[in-house]
Structure 1
Amino acid sequence: MLVQNPPSIPTLALALLVCRSRKVKLVIDWHNLGYSNLALKLGHSHPLVQLAKVYEQRMGRFAHYHFAVTNAMCAVLESQFGIQGAILPLHDRPSPLFVPLPDAEQIAFFTRHELTAAEVANIIASKTRVVVSSTSWTADEDFSVLLEALCNYSERATSDSPHLPELLVIITGKGPLKLHYLEKIRERESKQELEMVAIKTAWLSFEDYASLLGAADLGVSLHTSSSGVDLPMKVVDMFGAGLPVLGYNNYQSWPELVREGINGKGFSNAKQMSDIMMELFNPTSQTLNMLKEGAIQESRRRWDSEWDPVAGRLFGLTT
């Protein structure tokens, strides 16, 4: 039985009970640590978080095999969870839906979609560059960092760097903090702090989201990692679409996914983020083109090539 974690409670206990009653082996696919997600709401010192951690550690030790989404998570499972052996790294890869789009298909998407239709001519002429970020509008993704960086970019683009293009920033997703940040955006717009930036929010179908990633110029990840050892699936999808990534990098597992200066760049604060955007969108710079080439190379790494030699071999499906 293969079970993904999180959710941990009560999934791991129920899975263990079923496996023992049916005399089958339990395999846990660790995508993050459940207690660290709970800590985002309650704090690491909260008794329920500590109880959840003990539960997760003890339940995990009963599994026969483990997949971990990063090498860093493998190390945590060994050192902090006391799981010895039978831990295999199994990195996420994008679904077949996420692929790079030829130029003609990019233009077709921009032309037909209401988010971009009015800007097609400027997008084709590179007078407007398209930036996309998906977010769940939760505490582990600090949208204020992106908003501050965009205000900084706009200020510099209207003063000392007039050659910079305008940015069309499309934020996809739903979540509890969305209305809070929409109000923050309106405040900045009313103060004319986003003259060179247009921010649009949307909830897209999977097909349109995949097309947007395949057509955009830059993807942004604000994922901060509750455990420090998971990976943002949104970056995996962006690479699947051949989209270079600018992402928050101040956690342990970031280098396992993004190769700095090859397929993306990392930041730890708004100032670094705006500086990188200035570099990437400077018409005289080739950095964004280089990152695009790296992201295209990364897009060729697909699920089968990761799954078959690890999980496929464990389950006896491949040799």
Structure 2
Amino acid sequence: MAASCVALLVLALLVPLLLLGLWKRGQQTGRARHVVVVVLGDLGRSPRMQYHAVSLAQSGFSVTLLGFYNSKPRDELLLNDRIQIVKLTDLRGLGAGPRILQYGVKVVFQAVYLLWKMMCTDPAAYIFLQNPPGLPAIAICWFVGCICGSKLVIDWHNYGYSIMGLVHGPRHPIVLLAKWYEKFFGRLSHLNLCVTNAMREDLAENWCVRAVTLYDKPASFFKETPLDLQHELFMKLSRTYSPFQSCSEPSDPDTERSAFTERDCQSGVVRRLHGRPALLVSSTSWTEDEDFSILLRALEKFEQQALTGDSLPSLVCVITGKGPLREHYRHLISQKHLQHVQFCTPWLEAEDYPLLLAGSQVPGSLCSLNELVKHGENGLVFKDAEELAAQLQMLFSKFPDPAGKLSQFRKKLQESEQLRWDESWQQTVLPLVTHK
């Protein structure tokens, strides 16, 4: 009896959806130039999908962007008339019952909710989906594509099951189920993108998924930032994070000062402080224990070298990003009491991240890939803490002397021509979505 009731309920839900899907299949007007971009996560923290949306809009598509609106996306996206944002609501506050039950309820809620939201959007030629998170989004986007005539494009950033394994363990039943789900439904996509050739080869060899590599290149708005805008960001961050606060008050009351810059409020002139600390920005997903350990050990070696009397500056290390191990690493950082190194783990607005990179002496990633980084040309590659520590010591010696190694390397990097996201997307993705 109960099974019959459930079957009737499912049928009652599916029939209207199928009828709506058949009706939407018949609505051809505008379909070929409309794309739905889905992020089952925070839009403001999904720069690559924001770039997809902007690139699609610049290429003449109308874009519906679905995702959680926990932090503000970039203005380039918000001000584009071709992009419509549909805000999704996350299920929060479910604190009763076993964790696996809570997770199951959340997945079911997200599946029904995402299905409803997507069926309410205009017919689209393509559905772009970020993975991870892919549970339950891959199956829902595939299903919507089947009944509405849309092609599914998955952009593989990582494997969702492997990130879940960091929390639950690789052999946990829910992780094994997630792996099967991701592998099965991932094969049903029409087109696939990924971030590296290594991942493309792994997808082909182990998952039978053919993908095209689209590297994470900087977008056009990543460029040299005027010093006054850097100062405004430093002052903004100084109100929350102590490493950005000035160690001394300026003697002139008409001067405002951060740890790195000061501005004459009457003339508006901004200058860098001569005795400022060096600024190191590292981006990480807070998922790889080994990568973070390398950084931490390297900074401890940097501290030891600074204490020996070498001409090394104090260092502010800003670590951005999010992930399941974020709080674990923040706890480890809090236990370190270094004299020459301060840590900061800020939550940045989308517009603030490129400004912070522009103001840093060494922007970088803990995942140095030979595919993207050419040692000595556009970056430095390291394999362990000893190499990273040696590179930091080399770069920051004589800081902030313009004749130092860091200034020379930055000048060389500025002179090198690198392919931007816009050009890379036009060459790689646009032919895929305009090919008939």
Q: Does 1:5 align with 2:131?
A: yes
Describe how 1:227-238 pairs up with structure 2 within 5 A: none
Distance of 1:58 and 1:157 partners within structure 2: 53
* Structure 1: runs of 5+ lacking an equivalent: 223-247
Q: Per-residue deviation at 1:54? A: 2.7
Structure 1 residues 124-144: Cα deviation after superposition (integer angstroms, max 9, x where no partner): 326521112345555557544
Distance of 2:169 and 2:181 partners within structure 1: 17
Query: Which of 213, 230, 238 matches 2:357?
Result: 213
Q: Which residue of 1 is the match for residue 31 of structure 2?
A: none
Structure 1 residues 90-122: Cα deviation after superposition (integer angstroms, max 9, x where no partner): 222334443222455445654665225044379
Query: Which of 278, 285, 290 matches 2:393?
Result: 278
Q: Which residue of 2 is the match for residue 147 of structure 1?
A: 296
Structure 1 residues 177-221: Cα deviation after superposition (integer angstroms, max 9, x where no partner): 5555555445432xxxx2222333433333333221111101243
Q: Which residue of 2 is the match for residue 74 of structure 1?
A: 200
Label 1:176 to 1:311 Cα distance change in 2 as closer, same or farther (>3 A).
Answer: closer
Distance of 2:229 and 2:395 partners within structure 1: 23
Distance of 1:78 and 1:174 partners within structure 2: 28
RMSD of the alignment, in Å? 3.2
Q: Which residue of 1 is the match for residue 215 of structure 2?
A: 91
Distance of 1:180 and 1:292 partners within structure 2: 33
Contact kept? 1:107, 1:120, Cα under 8 Å: yes
Secondary structure of 1:188's match? Answer: coil
Label 1:125 to 1:40 Cα distance change in 2 as closer, same or farther (>3 A).
Answer: same
Q: Which residue of 1 is the match for residue 316 of structure 2?
A: 168
Contact kept? 2:194, 2:213, Cα under 8 Å: yes
Structure 1 residues 221-248: Cα deviation after superposition (integer angstroms, max 9, x where no partner): 33xxxxxxxxxxxxxxxxxxxxxxxxx4
Contact kept? 1:26, 1:63, Cα under 8 Å: yes
The one-letter amino acid paired with 1:156 is Q
* Structure 2: runs of 5+ lacking an equivalent: 1-126, 239-243, 246-257, 263-270
Label 1:45 to 1:180 Cα distance change in 2 as closer, same or farther (>3 A).
Answer: closer
Contact kept? 1:107, 1:124, Cα under 8 Å: no
Distance of 2:357 and 2:296 partners within structure 1: 20
The one-letter amino acid paired with 1:272 is E
Q: Which range moves more in the overlay, 18-27 or 126-135?
A: 126-135
Q: Which residue of 1 is the match for residue 25 of structure 2?
A: none
Q: Does 1:204 align with 2:353?
A: no
The one-letter amino acid paired with 1:157 is A
Distance of 1:24 and 1:175 partners within structure 2: 31
Distance of 1:76 and 1:176 partners within structure 2: 23
Structure with greater contact order relative to length (CA < 8 Å, sep ≥ 6): 1
Q: Per-residue deviation at 1:159? A: 1.0
Q: Which range moves more in the overlay, 281-290 or 67-76?
A: 281-290
Tell me which stretches of 4 or more aligned residues in structure 1 moved more than 6 Å. none
Contact kept? 2:131, 2:157, Cα under 8 Å: yes
Distance of 1:182 and 1:8 partners within structure 2: 27
Secondary structure of 1:266's match? Answer: coil
Label 1:83 to 1:156 Cα distance change in 2 as closer, same or farther (>3 A).
Answer: closer
The one-letter amino acid paired with 1:260 is H
Q: Which residue of 2 is the match for residue 242 of structure 1?
A: none
Distance of 2:420 and 2:332 partners within structure 1: 38
Query: Which of 261, 283, 306 matches 1:120?
Result: 261
Q: Which residue of 1 is the match for residue 282 of structure 2?
A: 133
Q: Which residue of 2 is the match for residue 42 of structure 1?
A: 168
Contact kept? 1:100, 1:296, Cα under 8 Å: no
Secondary structure of 1:94's match? Answer: coil
Q: Which residue of 1 is the match for residue 87 of structure 2?
A: none
The one-letter amino acid paired with 2:354 is A
Higher radius of gyration, 1 or 2: 2
Label 1:154 to 1:24 Cα distance change in 2 as closer, same or farther (>3 A).
Answer: closer
TM normalised by structure 2 equals: 0.56
